[in-house]
Amino acid sequence: MSSVNPSAYPDTGEKGAKRKAEWPLWEIFIRGQHGMSHRHVGSLHAPDAEMAIKNARDVYTRRNEGVSIWVVEARNITATTPGDKGPMFEPSQTKIYRHPTFYDIPDEIGHM
C-alpha cells in the first residue's frame, strides 16, 4: 500500500469552495549543450519565476538536454494572431529576390 494520502492534496479545498486560481503559465527556453541560442521547448505551471526554473530543470533537462534555462511568464509574450497571417506573412512569399540564393556567388568567394 502506498502511504500517500490523497485527501491531503493542497488543491482540494472544502466541498463547494471556489477552486483557487491556477499557477501562472511559463514558457521555457533551453540552450542545448552545443546550441548557440535558447530554444522554446514547452511550457509549465509554477507559482513564481524561481520555481519555474526549478520545474523546467526537472521537466525539460532530465535527459541532459541543456546548460542554460530561461523562463518567461506566458502573459508577457506578445504574439501575432493567426487571423493576421495574410497581411503579416503572405506579402513576403513573392519577394524571392530577398533570398541570398538569388545572387550568383563568384567562384573566388568559395564556400559561404
Partner 1 sequence: MAVSKQQALLEFLLRMGDTSLILGHRMSEWCGHAPILEEDIALANTALDLIGQTQLWLGYAAEVQGEDKTADDLAFLRDAWDFRNLLLAELPNGDFGRTIMRKFLFDAFQSVLLGRLLTSTDTTVREIAEKASKEAAYHLERSADTVVALGDGTEESHDKMQAALDRLWPYVGEMFESDAYDAVLVKAGIAPDPASLRAEFDTLVTKVIRRATLDLPEDAFSHSGGRSGRMHTEHLGHLLTQMQWLQRAYPGNRW
Q: Considering the rule CB under 8 A, would residue 47 count as an interface residue with partner 1? A: yes
Q: What are phi and psi of 27, to 5 degrees?
A: -95, 135
Q: Which stretch binds partner 1 (CB under 8 A): 31-39, 48-56, 64-72, 81-89?
A: 48-56
Q: Which residues pair with 43 in a beta bridge?
A: 27
If one asks whether residue 55 binds partner 1 (CB under 8 A), the answer comes out as: yes
- Selected range binding partner 1 among 55-63, 69-77, 80-88, 92-100, rule: CB under 8 A: 55-63
Q: Which stretch binds partner 1 (CB under 8 A): 1-9, 65-73, 78-86, 97-105?
A: 1-9
Check if the beta carbon of residue 107 is closer than 8 Å to that of residue 89: no
Q: What are the φ and ψ backbone dihedral angles of 44, each rounded to 5 degrees?
A: -160, 170
- What sign does the dihedral 28-34-35-36 (CA atoms) show? positive
> Would you count residue 59 as binding partner 1 (CB under 8 A)?
yes
Beta carbons of 31 and 37 less than 8 angstroms apart: yes
Residue among 37, 32, 28 nearest 71 (CA):
28
The residue from 1, 21, 109, 112 that contacts partner 1 (CB under 8 A) is 1
Binding status of residue 51 toward partner 1 by CB under 8 A: yes
**Binding residues vs partner 1 (CB under 8 A):** 1-6, 8-11, 23, 44-47, 50-51, 54-55, 57-59, 62
